[in-house]
Protein backbone atom coordinates (compact mmCIF):
# COMPACT_ATOMS: atom_id res chain seq x y z
CA UNK A 1 0.00 0.00 0.00
CA UNK A 2 1.38 3.43 -0.93
CA UNK A 3 0.26 6.99 -0.13
CA UNK A 4 -2.24 8.39 -2.63
CA UNK A 5 -0.85 11.91 -2.25
CA UNK A 6 -3.94 13.47 -0.68
CA UNK A 7 -4.89 14.41 2.87
CA UNK A 8 -8.61 14.49 3.74
CA UNK A 9 -10.34 15.78 6.85
CA UNK A 10 -13.25 13.95 8.42
CA UNK A 11 -16.23 16.30 8.90
CA UNK A 12 -18.45 16.42 11.97
CA UNK A 13 -20.69 13.69 10.53
CA UNK A 14 -17.74 11.35 9.94
CA UNK A 15 -17.63 11.92 6.18
CA UNK A 16 -14.65 12.40 3.91
CA UNK A 17 -14.48 13.59 0.33
CA UNK A 18 -12.58 11.30 -2.03
CA UNK A 19 -10.57 13.69 -4.24
CA UNK A 20 -11.74 13.93 -7.85
CA UNK A 21 -8.50 12.53 -9.35
CA UNK A 22 -8.94 9.37 -7.26
CA UNK A 23 -12.65 9.09 -8.15
CA UNK A 24 -11.72 9.34 -11.80
CA UNK A 25 -8.82 6.89 -11.55
CA UNK A 26 -10.93 4.28 -9.75
CA UNK A 27 -14.14 4.95 -11.72
CA UNK A 28 -16.10 6.01 -8.62
CA UNK A 29 -19.36 7.75 -9.48
CA UNK A 30 -22.31 9.23 -7.60
CA UNK A 31 -24.35 6.52 -5.85
CA UNK A 32 -21.70 3.84 -6.33
CA UNK A 33 -21.37 1.58 -3.31
CA UNK A 34 -18.01 1.46 -1.57
CA UNK A 35 -16.87 -1.57 0.39
CA UNK A 36 -14.59 -0.99 3.38
CA UNK A 37 -11.80 -3.35 4.38
CA UNK A 38 -9.72 -3.05 7.51
CA UNK A 39 -6.62 -4.40 9.15
CA UNK A 40 -5.02 -3.36 12.43
CA UNK A 41 -3.93 0.08 11.14
CA UNK A 42 -5.75 0.79 7.89
CA UNK A 43 -9.10 1.25 6.21
CA UNK A 44 -9.17 0.49 2.49
CA UNK A 45 -12.00 1.65 0.21
CA UNK A 46 -12.95 -0.38 -2.85
CA UNK A 47 -15.70 0.08 -5.37
CA UNK A 48 -18.21 -2.61 -4.56
CA UNK A 49 -18.82 -5.12 -7.31
CA UNK A 50 -21.45 -7.73 -6.71
CA UNK A 51 -19.91 -11.18 -6.98
CA UNK A 52 -20.82 -14.83 -6.64
CA UNK A 53 -20.98 -15.90 -3.00
CA UNK A 54 -19.30 -19.19 -3.90
CA UNK A 55 -16.49 -18.43 -6.36
CA UNK A 56 -16.20 -14.61 -6.39
CA UNK A 57 -16.88 -14.24 -10.12
CA UNK A 58 -18.68 -11.07 -11.20
CA UNK A 59 -19.94 -12.47 -14.50
CA UNK A 60 -23.28 -14.06 -15.35
CA UNK A 61 -24.80 -13.44 -11.94
CA UNK A 62 -28.30 -14.36 -10.91
CA UNK A 63 -29.96 -13.59 -7.61
CA UNK A 64 -31.17 -16.31 -5.27
CA UNK A 65 -32.69 -15.47 -1.89
CA UNK A 66 -31.02 -12.05 -2.11
CA UNK A 67 -27.56 -13.51 -2.79
CA UNK A 68 -25.60 -13.34 -6.05
CA UNK A 69 -24.64 -16.68 -7.59
CA UNK A 70 -22.97 -17.12 -10.98
CA UNK A 71 -24.51 -19.40 -13.56
CA UNK A 72 -21.47 -21.68 -13.43
CA UNK A 73 -22.01 -22.31 -9.70
CA UNK A 74 -25.75 -22.71 -10.26
CA UNK A 75 -24.94 -25.47 -12.78
CA UNK A 76 -22.54 -27.13 -10.33
CA UNK A 77 -25.08 -26.90 -7.48
CA UNK A 78 -27.80 -28.41 -9.61
CA UNK A 79 -25.71 -31.61 -9.88
CA UNK A 80 -25.56 -32.11 -6.11
ZN1 LIG B 1 -19.74 -18.79 -8.80
So where are the chain's domains? 15-48, 51-80
Whether pLDDT at 5 is above 90 = yes
Are residues 22 and 28 in contact, defined by beta-carbon separation less than 8 angstroms? yes
pLDDT digits (tens, 9 = 90+) for 39-73: 999 999 999 999 999 999 999 999 999 999 999 99
pTM for the full predicted model? 0.67
Ligand 1 center to residue 1 CA distance, Å? 29
Give the model's confidence band at 80: pLDDT under 50 very low, under 70 low, under 90 confident, else very high. very high
pLDDT value of residue 1: 82
Residue 68: phi, psi to the nearest 5? -85, 130
C-alpha distances in Å from residue 33, one per residue of 3, 45, 60, 71, 78: 23, 10, 20, 24, 31
Ligand 1 center to residue 19 CA distance, Å? 34
pLDDT digits (tens, 9 = 90+) for 11-46: 999 999 999 999 999 999 999 999 999 999 999 999
Ligand 1 center to residue 67 CA distance, Å? 11
Amino acid sequence: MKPAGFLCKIDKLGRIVVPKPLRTKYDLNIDDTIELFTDDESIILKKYKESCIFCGSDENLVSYEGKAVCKSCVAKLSKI
